[in-house]
Structure 1
Amino acid sequence: MSLRGDVCVVTGACGFLGKRLVRLLLEEEKMAEIRLLDKHVQPEFLQTLEDCSSNTKLSVFEGDIRDSDFVRQACRGASLVFHIASIIDVNESVEYTEMYGVNVKGTQVLLEACIQENVVSFHLHQAPLRTHIYDCALKFSYSKTKKEAEQRTLLAHGEVLQNGGRLATCALRPMYIFGEGCRFLLGHMGDGIRNKNVLFRMSVPEALVNPVYVGNVAVAHLQAARSLKDPQKRNVAGGKFYFISDDTPPVSYSDFNHVVMSPLGFHIQDKLMVPLCLFYVFCFFFEIVCMMLRPFIRIVPPLNRQLLTMLNTPFTFSYQRAKRDLGYNPRYSWEEARKRTTEWLASQLPKERKRIIAK
């Protein structure tokens, strides 16, 4: 079903995925208006959209997702919301109260605004929620907050709107997202440059995961919106979460970095710098030292046990349920996604080398 004539809000519109989703909506849906909600919307980004905006109105809403009055204003008159905004942190560098405020309370504020302003469709972009990490003693603050945000989102499905209608919600769980604009890939490339074009190995080859291309994740969000608008599919997809992957071959995180960067002349370490068990011990002691120094100075370890666990735990899943319920199919093949990503990294290579030399 088409979104023609709809007014939508995209939170986190200037982020990695948000930019891709906004462009896709402009190219494929003749919407009445797209509202870009972010803390700061760069004029350069708006300029890149001029070639595909056609008759769709682009409105800018700069502010804090925790500000209920601001969020209500952004949602007033809208028919659907793509909630992409969140604080992503795997190094525990962000205070928990700040992360909880944005990821959980911000989501709750947005859900309440949808109910008050009669927004009928709400789509939450999620992290790949790993139950085995939630249930063990080591827990990412990021994952905990995103899990609670998802629970609140799915429980809100069917809530009565002010005009008597019903709110429809769903959540998408992509795996690690790669592609043009991925700051994590850029960071790994910078580390490789500093290490004389040798990428660090932080995960064992057996820890297979299936990264997903950003273009395919954007397509999945569009298909979810179309499904929740369809009266017949709404009851099927509403209140559910969907894993989103594509046909990227399963590979470890470190080996994936090598796959997309090897055409640029990068190599990768054959083995972990130290055995995995010693890596855990090292992280444990580093965390203890940082905790002892916390009253005097805040030091964020570059690696912690949670992150090491994630990087070395196999985790793959299928998108077949999203295909069945939402009509999702990856639009970009692995070959095309890899080519686009490598070309983007190549375009960033001179900038990264200059930045590192300048330091």
Structure 2
Amino acid sequence: MSSAPNAGPSPGKVLVVGGCGFLGGHIVNLLLKQHPRTQIAVVDLRTTSNRNSHANVSYHDGDITDLAAVTTLFSQIRPDAVIHTASPHFNAPNHVHDKVNVEGTKNLLKAAQDTGVKAFVYTSSASVILGPETQIVNADEKWPLVTGAAQPEYYTTTKAYAETAVLEANRTPAHFLTCAIRPAGIFGEGDVQLLPKMVTALRKGQNKFQLGDNNNLFDFTYVENVAHGHILAVQALLTSHAMLPTIPLDTEKVDGEAFFITNGQPVYFWDFARAVWHEGGDTLPLSGVWHLQYDFAFAVGALLEWILWALGKTPSLTRQQVRYSTMDKYHNIDKARKRLGYEPLVDLDEGVKRGVRYIVEQEKRESEKKGQ
């Protein structure tokens, strides 16, 4: 599969919030690939990374927690559509998640409503349905959100609150259409959380260990496919906007809806890790892998967290890592396929090759710099 140009309608003038981040940068690049004449504006706290030099892209420094500044930017840019990908790092303090994910999203909604934006697409998270004991097995969008005390990750709670605000804002006013994209396990060139940690584990020799029996299916999603889902959502909202005041059938409706986006290829967790390690140069046979059972690994993770917390350090194994690498977590993307026309552009194997190749090339450049 390859990222052939999309034959869908032009998305008009698009504002990508967080467009200098990992996902946002890929959305900008794919928009240009599929619609080279589209006018794109990027708003980010600092627009220094992942910049695209294309003449149709403009960059604007802006803080989404400042409503007046956001409104001024929207008044200047006058976008037809907004794609909101901005979010703090997963491990940021709780008050930062509140301020950016919840308050910042509400500021963007207000500015969009006040300046005539037609379509607003929010990057949510597949984890908004994940509870502390839940196994996610072929989950669809009917599964309830898990928030507050029932949600172990505060970041995820604020993503769910922001998603709810976005969907509740749909058709207020009547010409303002919104939806949410819920990606699962994003990886690819420039990711800072998934592939780099796995490659680092390989470099440290941690590929010798496996937690659990590797019978748990997990969704990993190549970043260009997530970008594709966002662009399809914008196009679908703009198509619905052009048909106003007609309201689509419930089975076709995109506005006011959430959509899981994955590669549609659930894979056993450690098979994915080994595919990454193989691309990174791993030659260890399966017979050389030590299997650590869940209860033992969980206890070790808890002990390491406690000891290293006391020392002000971060452990290499945590209870969260043990849980994530031994649980089922995969989703049903039929709704996105039927209503958005979504199909992954890049399959899992090709995505792994691209992502790891990017890291290896970075390592090579860093090594050459040190050798100068």
- Report the TM range for the smaller structure's normalisation: 0.7 to 0.9
1:228-272: CA deviation from partner (whole Å, max 9, x where unpaired):
0012597410111101112435120x4312202313322487344
1:326-355: CA deviation from partner (whole Å, max 9, x where unpaired):
111112233432332343233234357789
Contact persistence 1:199–1:258 (CA under 8 A): no
Contact persistence 1:81–1:123 (CA under 8 A): yes
In 2, the alpha carbon distance for the partners of 1:108 and 1:282 equals 41
> Percent identity, aligned pairs only?
25
Pairing 1:115–2:113 present: yes
In 2, the alpha carbon distance for the partners of 1:159 and 1:242 equals 20
Q: Where do 5+ consecutive residues of structure 2 fail to align?
A: 1-7, 133-145
1:265-306: CA deviation from partner (whole Å, max 9, x where unpaired):
22487344x432133334445555677x5xxx8555554434
1:171-224: CA deviation from partner (whole Å, max 9, x where unpaired):
1111101222222212321232133x7365456412210211111111111100
Moved more, 172-181 or 309-318: 309-318
1:104-149: CA deviation from partner (whole Å, max 9, x where unpaired):
1111111111112221211011221233334785601111111111
In 2, the alpha carbon distance for the partners of 1:298 and 1:113 equals 41
CA positional deviation for 1:310: 2.6
2:136 counterpart residue number: none
- Within 5 A, what are the aligned runs for 1:342-357? 342-351=356-365
Change (3 A) 1:177 1:35: same
In 2, the alpha carbon distance for the partners of 1:261 and 1:305 equals 22
Pairing partner for 1:194 from 196, 200, 204: 204
In 2, the alpha carbon distance for the partners of 1:348 and 1:234 equals 49
Contact persistence 2:43–2:62 (CA under 8 A): yes
Cα RMSD of the aligned pairs, angstroms, is 2.9
In 1, the alpha carbon distance for the partners of 2:247 and 2:366 equals 46
1:61 counterpart residue number: 60
Contact persistence 2:198–2:276 (CA under 8 A): no
Contact persistence 2:208–2:290 (CA under 8 A): no
After TM superposition, the score normalised by the length of structure 1 is 0.82
Moved more, 132-141 or 313-322: 132-141
1:248 counterpart residue number: 265
In 2, the alpha carbon distance for the partners of 1:122 and 1:60 equals 19
- Within 5 A, what are the aligned runs for 1:283-294? 283-285=301-303
Pairing 1:166–2:183 present: no
Contact persistence 1:139–1:306 (CA under 8 A): no
2:80 counterpart residue number: 79
Change (3 A) 1:181 1:248: farther
Q: Where do 5+ consecutive residues of structure 1 fail to align?
A: none
Aligned residues: 335
CA positional deviation for 1:45: 3.7
In 2, the alpha carbon distance for the partners of 1:10 and 1:303 equals 35
In 2, the alpha carbon distance for the partners of 1:32 and 1:299 equals 46
| One-letter amino acid of the counterpart of residue 337, structure 1 | G
In 1, the alpha carbon distance for the partners of 2:315 and 2:69 equals 36
CA positional deviation for 1:317: 1.4
Moved more, 234-243 or 24-33: 24-33
Change (3 A) 1:351 1:61: same
1:94 counterpart residue number: 92
Change (3 A) 1:352 1:211: farther
| One-letter amino acid of the counterpart of residue 191, structure 2 | C
2:101 counterpart residue number: 103
Pairing 1:35–2:41 present: yes
Pairing 1:139–2:184 present: no
Moved more, 219-228 or 339-348: 339-348
1:179 counterpart residue number: 188
SS at match of 1:316: strand
Change (3 A) 1:20 1:45: same
Change (3 A) 1:22 1:311: same
| One-letter amino acid of the counterpart of residue 199, structure 2 | M
Contact persistence 1:177–1:214 (CA under 8 A): yes
In 2, the alpha carbon distance for the partners of 1:221 and 1:118 equals 20
In 2, the alpha carbon distance for the partners of 1:152 and 1:301 equals 36
In 2, the alpha carbon distance for the partners of 1:125 and 1:234 equals 24
1:24 counterpart residue number: 30
1:278 counterpart residue number: 296
